[in-house]
Amino acid sequence: MDSLYTLTTTVNGRIHTRVVEPRMLLSDFLREDLALTGTHVGCEHGVCGACTVLVDGVAVRSCLMFAPQVDGCAVETVEGLAPGPDRLSLLQEAFRETHALQCGFCTPGILMTIKAFLAETPDPSETEIRETLGGTLCRCTGYQAIVAAVTLAAARLRTQGASP
C-alpha cells in the first residue's frame, strides 16, 4: 500500500500515465494533472453535476471518484465532444441554437450527461429528459431551453441515425 499511486487512463482517446496521491479527486486530476479544465467543479459533494464526465461510457460525478479509480478506464470529457477544432457536435450545436447556456459553467457536465443519455434513450420524453437533467443544476437558464436543446438534438440524431 503505497502513498502514491501510478495510474494509466485513456482520456478522450489519449493514454496518460501519472503518479498521484490516492486522495486526488478525479475532477482535480483531469483539471490539474491533465490540464483539461473544461470539466468544472461546482460543489464537490455530488449535487450540482457540473463535474460530470463519462467513465467507460457512463455519466458519473468526477468529484465523487478518486483518480486511481479510473486506472485502466476510458474517460470522456467535454474537450472530446467536438468533431474538430472549429466545429461543434450536433449536440453542442443544438445547445447553441436554443440558447441552452448562459454563463456556461454547468454546460460541460450537462453535455456529458446528455451524451450518455441520448446514446441509451434516442427518443426521450420530456419527463425523461427532465429527470436526467435533475442531476445537474443550472442557475441561469431555468432549464426550458436545455430541454429544447436535448429534444432538438435527439430528433436530429434519429434522422441521421447517428450517436451523440
Partner 1 sequence: MKPAPFQYLKARSLEEALAAKAALGDDARFLAGGQSLIPTMNFRMAQPTALVDLNGLTGLAGIAEQPDGTIGIGALARHRDVERSAVIARWQPMLVEAVREVAHPQIRARGTLCGNLAHADPMSELPAVMLALGARLTAQSVSGQRMIAAQDFFRGVFTTALSAEEMLVHVAVPPLQAGTGTCFLELARRKGDYAMAGVAAVVTLDDRRLCRSARLAYCAAGETPVLAEPAAGLLVGAVIDADSAAAVGTAAAEVLAPTGDVQAGADYKRHLAAVLTKRALLAAADRARGA
Partner 2 sequence: MTNRHFGAPERRLEDPKLLTGRAVFTDDIVRRDMLFAAFVRSPHAHAAIRAIDTAAAAAHPSTVAVFTAADLGDVLRDVPLVVPPPPIDGLVFNKRTQRALAHGKVRHVGEPVAVVVAHSRYEAEDAAALVTVDYDPLPVAAELEAAAHAEAPQVHDGVAGNVAAIAHQMKGDYDAAAAQAAVVIRRRFTYEHGLAQPLETRGVIAEWDSGQERLSVWASTQAPVSLRGGLADMLGLTESRIHVVAPFVGGGFGSKLLMYYPEEIVIPWVALRLGRAVKWIEDRAEHFVATSQERGQIHDAEIALDANGVILGVRDHFLHDTGAYNPYGLTVPINAQCSVLGPYVIPNYDSRFTAVFTNKPIVAPYRGAGRQHGVFVIERLLDLAARQLGMDVAEIRRRNFIPPEAFPYRNGITFQDFTELTYDSGSYGPILDRLLALVDYDRFRREEQPRLRAQGRHVGIGIVSYIEGTGIGPYEGARVRIESNGRVTVATGVGTQGQSHYTTFAQIVADHLGVPTDAVDVVTGDTDRFHWGVGTFASRGAVVAGNAVNEAAEAVRDRLIAVAAEALGCPAARIVLEDGRAVDRDHPDKTLALGDAARRANPMRGAVTPGTQPGLEETRYFGPDAGTTSSGAHAVIVEVDPETGMVEIKTYVVVHDCGVMINPMVVEGQVRGGVVQGIGNAFYERMVFDAAGQPLNATLADYLIPTAMEAPTITLDHVTTPSRQNRIGIKGVGEAGAIPVGPAFAQAVEDALAPLGPGLEVLDIPLSPDRLWRLVDRAKQQCGARQIDALTMT
Residue 26 contact partner, candidates partner 1, partner 2, none, CB within 5 to 8 A by sort of partner: none
Residue from 34, 50, 63, 90 binding partner 1 (CB under 8 A): 63
| Phi and psi based region of residue 143 (left: phi greater than 0; alpha: psi -120 to 50; beta: remaining) | left
145 binds partner 1 (CB under 8 A): no
Measured distance CA(105)–CA(88) in Å, rounded: 18
Place of cell 490540464: 35
Walk across the sheet containing 52-55 and list its strands: 14-20, 5-11, 74-76, 52-55, 58-61
Return the closest-CA partner of residue 121 out of 153, 87, 80, 79.
Answer: 153
Site for partner 1 in 93-122 (CB under 8 A): 113, 117
Residue 65 contact partner, candidates partner 1, partner 2, none, CB within 5 to 8 A by sort of partner: partner 1
What residues have CB less than 8 Å from 83, skipping those under 6 apart? 89
Positions in the binding site for partner 1 (CB under 8 A):
1, 3, 5, 21-23, 25, 28, 44-46, 49, 52, 58-61, 63-66, 68-69, 71, 113, 117, 131-132, 134-136
Positions in the binding site for partner 2 (CB under 8 A):
21, 23-24, 31, 35-45, 47-48, 50, 77-79, 81-82, 88, 92, 95-97, 99, 101-108, 111, 129-131, 133-147
